[in-house]
Amino acid sequence: MAEEKTLSSRLVFEGRAVKLRIDTVQMPGGQETTREIVEHSDCVAIVAVTADDKVLLVRQFRQAVAKGLLEIPAGGIEDKESPLDAVRREMQEETGYLPGKIEKLGGFYSAPGYCTEYLHLYLATDLVPSQLYAEDTESIELVPVPLGKIPGLIASGEICDAKSIAGLFIFSEYKKKSK
């Protein structure tokens, strides 16, 4: 596979959560063009399953699409934090549960056409109620959903964000293989 060669890179915006850079690249055929790249730190995405086979989803308002979305818990990995520590923190912040068991299911890029964000996908089980805390998550609604209803929620568009669909699909395949 032919690759593009980066000729130059220019940072044009630096915000709290993202940076935007413009790369000038040389394509395999020799022509030059630009690529707008959103730099975003790695994140964790979590399929949290209760002892009675309910998936803990969260409903939260997303300003970018101007509506509330039903999603798997997820969040950024903070500086000097391991992905496992981020899973524990995000679970407590978004769901009010701590996982007794955490398994890595895989990972994926959120939007590799323009963004560097990579999501580490984990399965959280043996959930124990814990104190719900976080300064910016008071509007998050916890929505436990029976495992069997997940495919219908995806098909109907009720679950419509890529990380949740990908994460739940990967979990579904994992569950099939572990039977």
- Per-residue pLDDT tens over the stretch 49-104: 999 999 999 999 999 999 999 999 999 999 999 999 999 999 999 999 999 999 99
Give me the mean pLDDT over the 120-126 stretch.
98
pLDDT of residue 104: 98
Residues 6+ apart with CB under 8 A from 23: 6, 7, 8, 9, 10, 34, 35, 37
- Asked whether 121 and 130 are in contact (CB, 8 A), the reply is no
Same domain, 49 and 31: no
Q: pTM of the prediction?
A: 0.94
- Give yes or no for residue 135 having a pLDDT over 80: no
Share of the chain above pLDDT 70, in %: 97
Domain, as residue range, for 24:
5-40
Same domain, 50 and 84: yes
Same domain, 49 and 23: no
- Among 57, 27, 82, residue whose Cα is nearest residue 145: 57
What whole-number distance in Å separates Cα of residue 163 and Cα of residue 154?
12
Q: What is the CATH number of the domain that holds 167?
A: 3.90.79.10
Same domain, 27 and 105: no
What whole-number distance in Å separates Cα of residue 92 and Cα of residue 131?
7
pLDDT of residue 134: 62
Within the chain, residue ranges assigned H as helices are: 83-95, 150-156, 162-177
pLDDT of residue 179: 75
Q: Given the structure tokens 């903070």, which residue do they identify?
A: 78
- Asked whether 72 and 94 are in contact (CB, 8 A), the reply is no
pLDDT of residue 121: 98
